[in-house]
Structure 1
């Protein structure tokens, strides 16, 4: 059984820095990072059998294009002073209900762009590998559409400028994983594995929902800048609840104890899916959530301890179970 441990160590790019407006064409086009693979997925699904001959390469091209754009944005931030390395791009006014006013936007900083390059680079390699792996599958076009959807959802997750936008990407990752794990759903074990992953992740989603409700009740906002700036003014109980709720969410996505059981069964799916889940999307989403929420964990020592304990238990449990496994994917 593969396991990934979580840490809440302080990282230099997790410091609270006031965001600035985008500068340069690359930063202003950051929305294309998500739009390109998402549009590719839609085209492949809607084109039907007409795209069977070229759909797989179309999907590969979409992932590679996002990688190139992500690299260009990262280069545009190199050499910039620390105060200008956090860029927020407002896309549109999304929600305005009562005291809640939220614009959908993206946050470009060293942390998010590190994950962008990880997701798109590894994702592109997996797309290329899948061309030959799925060569004789009659539904190869649909497989690449789901891969593109997976990449797009993960990019939305890591580029979100608020927990609510992150939640949309979070759910998108869950949907894509369900579709890919159960891609060969005519076989019972694949269908069961997909359902198991879906249920386990819904338990984790509850933690993220609780955290967002607690944030809005105590801070009145869900964007990262406002929440992190207000952490120092919250009482220790509230901050600890936030940290533990976010940890529950991370446990669901990153297959940490006690929500680790779905990951082994998920390996029954196509090999490219197993690689994408482990290396670039599903499992790393929980890690990203904890690292992005570093200011919260710094103010909640008990939540930090819980992260260490959960990670240690998962590591030990995985090592013991692994001794009895004869399937290298598990």
Structure 2
């Protein structure tokens, strides 16, 4: 089951694409099924992987699934990949589980809103980015998830952009997230250059942790 960890973020991504590209033509009824179903499948996959994980010995509770090479430049290489360990799968359960019930609640709560399809498109994208953030196996992919969560926070907080209060709140969230970006980028730069002094050019979690003793203090 571990080999299917990539399905956890994939289902919300599919929901985002279907609702975003075809939602208006498909209508509210289909959108109401696609959005929550995508998250429900993600939640179900997380549950199955969780129970397989706890059935293994502590030394076997770490797994990485590489999808494909992403950035290759000289000695530096990073991939699109996901990792499973007790912390990441627990967070995947929380995110997908809570998000599933939020989607179910939103079907009724947002039913008469003119931006119904747009709302579920944003919400599916938010869950996809959050799951990418917590399941990524390297800092660069984690940063993509972080940026995506920041973007979706801006879109959802300012969803009713016709209201000044919502629009202003969205802008504030956007600015605050940019402060977080600075710290994230700075941290990656320091890690990369510190390990690079020893000829280790990586942002992969496993390699960084294995060489943590070589980091500058």
Alignment of 1:1-330 (within 5 A): 26-51=1-26, 52-219=28-195, 220-236=201-217
| Cα distance between partner residues in 2 of 1:218 and 1:99 | 15
Distance 1:48 1:67 in 2: 22
Q: Distance in 2 between matches of 1:77 and 1:130?
A: 32
TM-score under structure 1 normalisation? Answer: 0.62
Alignment deviations for residues 234-275 of structure 1 (CA, whole Å, 9 cap, x no partner): 232xxxxxxxxxxxxxxxxxxxxxxxxxxxxxxxxxxxxxxx
In structure 2, list runs of 5 or more residues that go unmatched.
Answer: 196-200
* Structure 1: gaps of 5 or more residues: 1-25, 237-330
CA contact (8 A) 1:56 1:140 kept: no
User: Is the contact made by 2:191 and 2:215 (CA closer than 8 Å) also made in structure 1?
Assistant: no
Q: Provide the rounded CA distance (Å) in 1 between the counterparts of 2:173 and 2:163.
A: 16
Pairwise CA distance, 1:230: 1.6
SS at match of 2:82: strand
Does the residue aligned with 2:81 lie in a helix, a strand or coil?
Answer: strand
Report runs of 4+ in structure 1 exceeding 3 Å deviation: none
Alignment check: 8 A CA contact 1:153 1:172 kept = yes
Distance 2:101 2:209 in 1: 35
TM-score of the superposed pair, with normalisation by structure 2: 0.94
Q: Deviations over 1:260-299 (max 9, x none)?
A: xxxxxxxxxxxxxxxxxxxxxxxxxxxxxxxxxxxxxxxx
- Report how far residue 139 of structure 1 moved: 1.5
d(CA) in 1 for partners of 2:47, 2:64: 17
Residue matched to 1:319 = none
* SS of match in other structure, 1:104: strand
SS in 2 for 1:94: strand
In structure 2, how many angstroms separate the alpha carbons of the residues matched to 1:99 and 1:67? 37
Let me know the Cα RMSD of the aligned residues: 1.1
| Structure of higher RCO (CA pairs closer than 8 Å, 6+ residues apart) | 1
